[in-house]
Copies of this chain bind each other. A is one copy, B any other.
Amino acid sequence: MTAEKRAAGRPRRIEKQQIVDVARRILQEEGVQALSMRRVAKEVGATPMALYHHVRDKDELLMLTLAGLAASIPRPELPADPRERVLVTALHIFTGLSGFPWAVDVLGLGELTDKGALWMPEEIIASCIACGQTHEEAVHTYRTLWYFLYGALRFTTAEARRAADPDRRPFFPNLLTPADADELPHLTSLSADWQELTRGYDIAVQLRAMIDGLLPPAT
């Protein structure tokens, strides 16, 4: 079904793949806020408008950068127990995407784009069914896990970005004062070692507990 390319008309000077590659490099090196159509055009050696002959708009270009990303991450060994497979696959999504903060931003656009990533929802849904869930329940469980992973990735990467910023000043440093101890006793007593508590957060522990609640009890 792959038709020969017609040689009619003007020969193309820039390839779609080239555009996507440049975009992905900018995203990886400088993040999503650094990517602009004009910047990509310049680095690809063309006019901004030349890009629009290859992609519909900026959102499409962003989503195209996701293609092939999953294939570049080594697939993990999956255990035999289906419950453990859910955990390991979910953790793999988290650790895999941790290295690509820009991908989390792009995934927020809400459209599936990378076919090579689909084995992960497939695996989780299949394992949930193997654990005794109906097909519908399994889809819901996957969705719940994805919402959690997305949120965790968002705040983890955002915090890492802010930590890397040399001249960051908190916007509201003293939202909580000792005077709030009456109304908010736990938050005030915990606010001192909030940073340490954040470090102690273990995504694997949380995922395991979540999965325990979401899946039917083991037989």
Q: How far in angstroms is the closest Cβ of chain B from A203?
A: 9
Please, which residue of chain B has its CB at the minimum distance from the CB of A59?
Answer: B171
A118 touches B154 (CB 8 A): no
Please, which residue of chain B has its CB at the minimum distance from the CB of A129?
Answer: B186
- Report chain B residues within 8 Å CB of A214: 206, 209-210, 213
Hey, which bits of chain A sit against chain B, CB under 8 A? 56, 59-60, 63, 108-113, 115, 118-119, 121-122, 125-126, 129, 135-136, 138-140, 143-144, 146-152, 154-155, 158-159, 162, 170-172, 175-176, 180, 183-187, 190, 197, 200-202, 205-206, 209-214
- Report chain B residues within 8 Å CB of A175: 112-113, 115, 118
A187 touches B121 (CB 8 A): yes
Assuming the contacts A60-B171, A136-B197, A154-B108, asked whether A118 and B176 have C-beta atoms less than 8 A apart, the reply is yes
- Cβ 8 A contact of A171, one of B63, B119, B152, B201: B63
- Cβ 8 A contact of A140, one of B149, B150, B154, B201: B201
Please, which residue of chain B has its CB at the minimum distance from the CB of A111?
Answer: B171
- Report chain B residues within 8 Å CB of A135: 186, 190
- Report chain B residues within 8 Å CB of A129: 186
Kindly state the separation between the CA atoms of A32 and B135 in the bound complex, as whole angstroms: 37
- Report chain B residues within 8 Å CB of A150: 150-151, 154-155
A118 touches B187 (CB 8 A): yes
Please, which residue of chain B has its CB at the minimum distance from the CB of A214?
Answer: B209
A-B contact pairs, 6 of them (CB 8 A): A59-B171, A63-B171, A122-B187, A135-B190, A138-B186, A213-B214
- Report chain B residues within 8 Å CB of A112: 172, 175
Kindly state the separation between the CA atoms of A214 and B209 in the bound complex, as whole angstroms: 5
B147 touches A186 (CB 8 A): no
Kindly state the separation between the CA atoms of A68 and B139 in the bound complex, as whole angstroms: 37
Please, which residue of chain B has its CB at the minimum distance from the CB of A150?
Answer: B151
A119 touches B59 (CB 8 A): no
- Cβ 8 A contact of A158, one of B110, B184, B211: B110
Q: How far in angstroms is the closest Cβ of chain B from A142?
A: 10
